[in-house]
Amino acid sequence: MGAHLPPALRRPAVLWTALIAALAAAVITVLVVVPGDDTGEASYLDPDAPIADRVADLLGRMTIEEKVGQMTQVAVPAIEGVPADIGDLGIGSLLNGGSDALRDTPEAWAEMIDGFQSEAMGSRLRIPLMYGIDAVHGNGALPGAVIFPHNIGLGAAHDPALAAEAAAITAAETRATGVHWTFAPCVCVARDSRWGRTYESFGEDPGLAVEYAGPVVEGYQGEDLAANGSVLATAKHYAGDGGTALGSSTTDDYLLDQGVTTLTEEELRSIHLAPFKAAVDAGVGSVMVSFSSTDLGDGPLKTHGDAYLVNEVLKGELGFDGFVVSDWQGVDQVSEDYAEAVRTSINAGVDMVMVPFEYRRFIDTLLAEVDSGGIGEERIDDAVSRILTQKFALGLFEQPYADTAGAAEIGSAEHREAARRAAAASQTLLRNDDGLLPLAGDESIYLAGSGADSLGRQMGGWTASWQGSVEAVTEGTSIRAGLEAVAPDAAIAYSETASEPIGDADVGIVVVAEDPYAEGIGDAGAGAHDMRVSEADAAAIDTVCAAVACVVIVVSGRPIEITSHLAEVDALVAAWLPGSEGTGVADPLFGETPYGGRLPVTWPRSNDQEPMNVGDAAYDPLYPFGFGLQTA
């Protein structure tokens, strides 16, 4: 009988026994995925086990080096040349970092991220990476993705359900590229419109941010965080970044941004902490701490190192059970002594550090602090447990690689229609003399202004790059093209600078705009982003509005000083930063939908009135908070 057996089965008994043992060991290794571990079956690999049990089991198998790796987030440009460091150092997360779009298609994005993921899956414990990106008003890093209005416009719409729909679509168009995590929503309360991040706020009243925070978090995270259309949300920037005072920053270029918020604890809680409570109550998975400092009367303290605000208030009082991530190199600002900065921030409650480049320095420093006793290992275990909990919730241990099944829906007609509705709902009518609007749609129209035919300006920052671009950077419909689509019977003549003859036009439309920016005071210096109409746009208003009945549409991330240009203006519309669908600006202009937007921030007569907020004792704005004319 033995003569008929395959050669492998005609080995001497000792070899046969060894072969069986080797095969069994290989099977165990595959099942347990912990080479060299003899503790038995790894329950962290059991998808049916409770997440808390899986976290505890995995944490018990990790070395201190692997734990510290999980607390490290690295920018892609820093790791591209040495991808093996992901597995060798157990790095827990990567981020795009606001750089130009790295890939042009969902499939190319997925291939890139999967390549990094394969390095993580080759590590001893095969702990998957999380990949984060600033998909704050659509997946702006992907050409062709739908871009929604920035938060300031969504706040003007006063429709949290619409904002939640925008978040859900953004999540779907982001997860389909292999990205698991978005650094959104920003639930800051903008108390001074000169702040360059006002556009990221839902408004100046904390009630707006509270109203929006929960639905938007739920829109991103969905009912099941592991679903292909869901991404981990991030409530940012904790806490008080919208209340920084002009001139309080030590970095001249940032003036308001990264400065100091000085107020009482009662004011901090009622204005700036309330939206975070709403986000936590909605189950937000991560919170990003702010670059700014808070001064409650004892002097300014960087939030990255504020144990009271992070450990006691956020994780204690508010019951936040997700993880806290730093902002870009934010830990470095806590102290000039790097070891002290790391020690203070981690002990204050920061769980994951957006390094983003010198990751070996961070890892070595954190390990040294643990070794010396400056940071207790129980603090490390708490941080890593929080991070791993979200990775299990995202389903990354079962499906670490990208599922691009939803890629076909990116930029779909259905998604663009939702963005169009959001843009239309955000349009805020501030003046309408003699009922000029809505237009009939069959007029002879003279169109001018820097925002009339500029996708880049109407989308703003965080679109294809950190700062955005004046140039067309993704697919969409400009305001000019939107007018032509919504009113095909109108005769539209276009001259950006109003240098062409106006002729016998029935009405003029001048679209004035800010250039895109992301942070600071606009990131290009006070002279470039001073919240005033540019000289070219001012000249266009003067030329067009002196000659014909005139509509001025303002494309901006905040109110701009326009009082001195209004003498000849018949209708004024705040379009905010409407996103990729310029048809949404045109819809109420021609009566396809009514104007219904209301100001989410006070519109001052002069920038010298800032900061000015509803409820102030001296309150004399051009248009008050909540103002907005309605049309049928």
Of all residues in the chain, what percent carry a pLDDT higher than 70?
90
Number of alpha carbons in the 13 Å side-chain half-sphere of residue 396: 30
Is 38 assigned a catalytic role?
no
Quote the CA–CA distance of 401 and 118 in Å, as a whole number: 8
- The reply to whether 20 falls in a domain is yes
Instruction: Please give the average per-residue pLDDT across 92-120, as a whole number.
Output: 87
Pair type for strands 571-576 and 549-555: parallel
Shared-domain flag, residues 47 and 173:
no
Shared-domain flag, residues 476 and 366:
no
Phi, psi for 40 (deg, rounded to 5): 100, -160
Phi, psi for 295 (deg, rounded to 5): -120, 105
Quote the CA–CA distance of 232 and 146 in Å, as a whole number: 19
Domains identified in the chain, total number: 3
Quote the CA–CA distance of 212 and 164 in Å, as a whole number: 8
> In the listed set 10, 44, 62, which residue is the last one of a domain according to the structure?
62
The CATH number of whichever domain residue 97 belongs to comes to: 3.20.20.300
pLDDT at residue 5 greater than cutoff 90: no
- For the stretch 282-321, pLDDT in tens is 999 999 999 999 999 999 999 999 999 999 999 999 999 9
Instruction: Please give the average per-residue pLDDT across 66-89, as a whole number.
Output: 96
- The reply to whether 28 falls in a domain is yes
Residue 99 has what pLDDT? 54
Shared-domain flag, residues 54 and 76:
no
Shared-domain flag, residues 56 and 147:
no
Instruction: Confirm if 540 and 448 have CB atoms less than 8 A apart.
Output: yes
Shared-domain flag, residues 455 and 347:
no
Instruction: Confirm if 372 and 347 have CB atoms less than 8 A apart.
Output: no
Tell me what the pLDDT averaged over the chain comes to. Answer: 91
Of all residues in the chain, what percent carry a pLDDT higher than 90?
85
Shared-domain flag, residues 494 and 522:
yes
Q: Given the structure tokens 């070595």, which residue do they identify?
A: 364
546: containing domain: 415-609
Pair type for strands 444-448 and 428-432: unpaired
Shared-domain flag, residues 423 and 350:
no
Shared-domain flag, residues 39 and 69:
no
Quote the CA–CA distance of 486 and 467 in Å, as a whole number: 30
- The reply to whether 300 falls in a domain is yes
- The reply to whether 316 falls in a domain is yes
Quote the CA–CA distance of 328 and 371 in Å, as a whole number: 26
Instruction: Please give the average per-residue pLDDT across 98-121, as a whole number.
Output: 87
232 bridge partner residues: 181
E strands, 118-256, are 130-133, 181-182, 234-238
Shared-domain flag, residues 395 and 446:
no
Shared-domain flag, residues 550 and 587:
yes
Residue 103 has what pLDDT? 86
- The reply to whether 500 falls in a domain is yes
pLDDT at residue 98 greater than cutoff 90: no
Return the ∠ at Cα 459 (arms to 456 and 460), rounded to 5°.
Answer: 85
- For the stretch 132-177, pLDDT in tens is 999 999 999 999 999 999 999 999 999 999 999 999 999 999 999 9
E strand or H helix that includes residue 23: helix 13-32
Quote the CA–CA distance of 76 and 85 in Å, as a whole number: 12
> In the listed set 62, 82, 103, which residue is the last one of a domain according to the structure?
62
- For the stretch 22-59, pLDDT in tens is 333 333 333 334 444 433 479 999 999 999 999 999 99
Is 417 assigned a catalytic role?
no
Active-site residue (options: 519, 523, 561, 570): 519
Burial class (CB in 10 A: 0-12, 13-18, 19+), 181: buried
Kindly give, in sequence order, each residue whose CB lies less than 8 Å from that of residue 138, ignoring residues fewer than 6 positions away.
145, 146, 147, 148, 166, 169, 170, 173, 419, 463, 579, 580
Shared-domain flag, residues 453 and 572:
yes
Name the residue among 97, 92, 172 with its Cα closest to residue 139.
Answer: 172
Active-site residue (options: 200, 327, 453, 587): 327
Residue 96 has what pLDDT? 85
552 bridge partner residues: 510, 572
Q: In what order do the strands lie in the sheet with 323-325?
A: 234-238, 286-289, 323-325
Name the residue among 340, 356, 335, 321 with its Cα closest to residue 293.
Answer: 335
Name the residue among 383, 407, 441, 380 with its Cα closest to residue 173.
Answer: 407
Residue 31 has what pLDDT? 37
Confidence of residue 250 (pLDDT cuts 50, 70, 90): low
Name the residue among 211, 307, 306 with its Cα closest to residue 261.
Answer: 306
Confidence of residue 9 (pLDDT cuts 50, 70, 90): very low
> In the listed set 10, 39, 62, which residue is the last one of a domain according to the structure?
62
- The reply to whether 499 falls in a domain is yes
- The reply to whether 214 falls in a domain is yes
- The reply to whether 616 falls in a domain is no
pLDDT at residue 461 greater than cutoff 50: yes
Shared-domain flag, residues 387 and 487:
no
The CATH number of whichever domain residue 517 belongs to comes to: 3.40.50.1700
Instruction: Confirm if 450 and 575 have CB atoms less than 8 A apart.
Output: no
- For the stretch 475-534, pLDDT in tens is 999 999 999 999 999 999 999 999 999 999 999 999 999 999 998 776 554 445 578 999
